[in-house]
Amino acid sequence: MKILVTGGAGYIGSHMVRTLGEKGNHDIVVYDNLSTGHRDSLLCGRLTVGDLADAAALDELFRAEKFDAVMHFATNIVVDESVREPVKYYRNNFVNTLNLIAACTRHKVNRFIFSSTAAVYGIPEAVPVTEDAPLLPINPYGSSKMMVELALRDVSLSSDLRHVALRYFNVAGADSAFRIGQKYKDATHLITVSLRTALGLREQLKVFGTDYDTPDGTCIRDYIHVDDLVEAHVLALEYLSEGNKSRVFNCGYGHGYSVREVVDKVKQVTGVDFRVNETARRAGDPPSLIADSSRIRNELGWMPAYDDLEYIIRTAWQWEKKLHGAK
Ligand code: UFG
C-alpha cells in the first residue's frame, strides 16, 4: 500500500513509520513541517517537508502520489498550551485537518486513520470510559480533536471515505532498540519530565494538584506504550482495508496510575531520588481518565504486549539517556 503519514517525523508518527517499514510492502510518504518532528526520527519512508495549512501543496502531493490510505498524526498536543492559545489549536488541529480530509475526498483516498484523544471525553461521568460516553471536552485541545471526529463522521456519511478514530490515552515509552523516542525540547508529559528531572536536566518535578477527588489526591491516567498504540493502527488499517465501516476505538489498557505512583516508579527505575514539589492544579486537567478498551480488543483483536508501567518507563529512560548523552 502507499500510505501517507502526516506528522511521521514526530514521536508517535515515527514509531508508526518504523513499524510500517518493518512490515514491508508499504510505500511510506511522510508529510511533516518539522515544527516538533525531526528528520532523523525517520527510520524509513520518504519525507516531504510541508504544512497542512498549504492546501495547494497537499493537492499537488495527492495528485503525484495516489495514496491508498492516510494516517494523520500531525497535531499540537499540549493541553495547557491549548488553554492559553486556543486559536493555534483550532487552526492546526481542526482547520488544517479539513484541508487533509478535503484532499482525500478530492483524490478518492478512502481510508483515513485519525489520532484522536481521550481528551474528547472531558471529565467522564464513569471510568473506565466507553466510546459511547458523551463528548464534553474541557480544553481546546480536546475540542479541536472532537471537531475533527465530527467532521470525519459527516464526511464518511456523504462520501466513500471511511475512517477509524483512535482515542489515545497517555502514550509513553520508546522503541525497544532505543532508536527513536520523544524528542520535544520543552516536554510537558509527566513521564518525560520526571525522567529529565532524574537526569538532572530540571531542578524539580512539579506535581500539579494534590486535591483531586482520587485516592491519593493526584490525577489518574491510563499510560499506554507507544508500540501497542502503533499496533492498534496496523489493525485499524487492516479493518478499513477489509471494507469495514467507520468506527471509533479507545486505546488504553483499562487501568490507571496516579501522578504520585508514576513518580515513585520513575524514582525506582532510575534509582534517582529527585526533588518533587507539590503545586497548584494545571488548567484543563481532568481528575481521572481510564479507557474501557473492550471494543478494540473484541472487534480488532488488539492484544497489547507492553501493559507494564515499569517497561514503559524503562524504555523511555534508556531513550532519554541516549538523547542527552548520559551514561
Ligand atoms: N503532571 C504533573 N507534572 C508534570 C507533568 C504532568 O503533575 O510536570 C500531571 C498532569 O497534571 C496530569 C498527569 O500528570 O495530571 C498527566 O499529564 P501529561 O501532561 O503527561 O498528559 P495529559 O494527561 O495532560 O495529556 C496526555 C496527552 C493528551 C491526551 C491525554 C489523554 O498529551 O494528548 O494524555 O489522557 F489527550
Domain map of the chain by residue range? Answer: 2-172+222-251, 190-221+254-323
How far is the C-alpha of 31 from the C-alpha of 64, rounded, in Å? 13
Q: Which atom of ligand 1 is nearest to the CA of 218?
A: 15
Q: Which residues, including other chains, have CB under 8 Å from residue 35's CB and lie 6 or more apart?
A: none
Contact 287, 213 (CB under 8 A): yes
Sheet holding 46-49, edge to edge: 46-49, 27-32, 2-6, 69-72, 111-117, 162-168, 247-251
Q: Whose CA is nearest to atom 35 of ligand 1?
A: 169
HEC states along the chain?
Answer: CEEEEECCCCHHHHHHHHHHHHCCCCEEEEEECCCCCCHHHCCCCEEEECCCCCHHHHHHHHHHHCCCEEEECCCCCCHHHHHHCHHHHHHHHHHHHHHHHHHHHHCCCCEEEEEEEHHHHCCCCCCCECCCCCCCCCCHHHHHHHHHHHHHHHHHHHCCCEEEEEEECEEECCCCCCCCCCCCCCCCCHHHHHHHHHCCCCCCEEEECCCCCCCCCCCEECEEEHHHHHHHHHHHHHHHHCCCCCEEEEECCCCCEEHHHHHHHHHHHHCCCCCEEEECCCCCCCCEECECCHHHHHHHCCCCCCCCHHHHHHHHHHHHHHHCCCC
Q: Record the cell numbers describing residue 156, joined without a space.
A: 464518511
How far is the C-alpha of 302 from the C-alpha of 162, rounded, in Å? 20
Q: Which atom of ligand 1 is nearest to the CA of 172?
A: 20
CA-closest candidate to residue 288, choices 130, 122, 133, 116: 122
Total-model pTM: 0.97
CATH number of 2-172+222-251: 3.40.50.720
- List pLDDT tens digits, range 29-64: 999 999 999 999 999 999 999 999 999 999 999 999
Contact 295, 236 (CB under 8 A): no
Count of C-beta atoms within a 10 Å radius of residue 228 = 20
Q: Kindly give the confidence (pLDDT) of every residue in the chain, 327 residues in length, as a single tens digit, with 9 standing for 90 and above.
A: 999 999 999 999 999 999 999 987 899 999 999 999 999 999 999 999 999 999 999 999 999 999 999 999 999 999 889 999 999 999 999 999 999 999 999 999 999 999 999 999 999 999 999 999 999 999 999 999 999 999 999 999 999 999 999 999 999 999 999 999 999 888 999 999 999 999 999 999 999 999 999 999 999 999 999 999 999 999 999 999 999 999 999 999 999 999 999 999 999 999 999 999 999 999 888 999 999 999 999 999 999 999 999 999 999 999 999 999 987
Distance 295 CA to ligand 1 centre (A): 24
CA-closest candidate to residue 187, choices 327, 10, 8, 5: 10
Choose the residue to mutate in 11, 76, 79 for probing ligand 1, maximizing ligand atoms within 8 Å of C-beta: 79
Pocket of ligand 1 (CB under 6 A): 77, 79, 117-119, 169-170, 188-190, 193, 205-208, 219, 221, 259, 282, 285, 289
> Domain 190-221+254-323 in CATH: superfamily?
UDP-galactose 4-epimerase, domain 1 (3.90.25.10)
Distance 285 CA to ligand 1 centre (A): 7
Distance 189 CA to ligand 1 centre (A): 5
Q: Do domains 2-172+222-251 and 190-221+254-323 have the same CATH topology?
A: no
Q: Which atom of ligand 1 is nearest to the CA of 170?
A: 34
Residues serving a catalytic function are 141
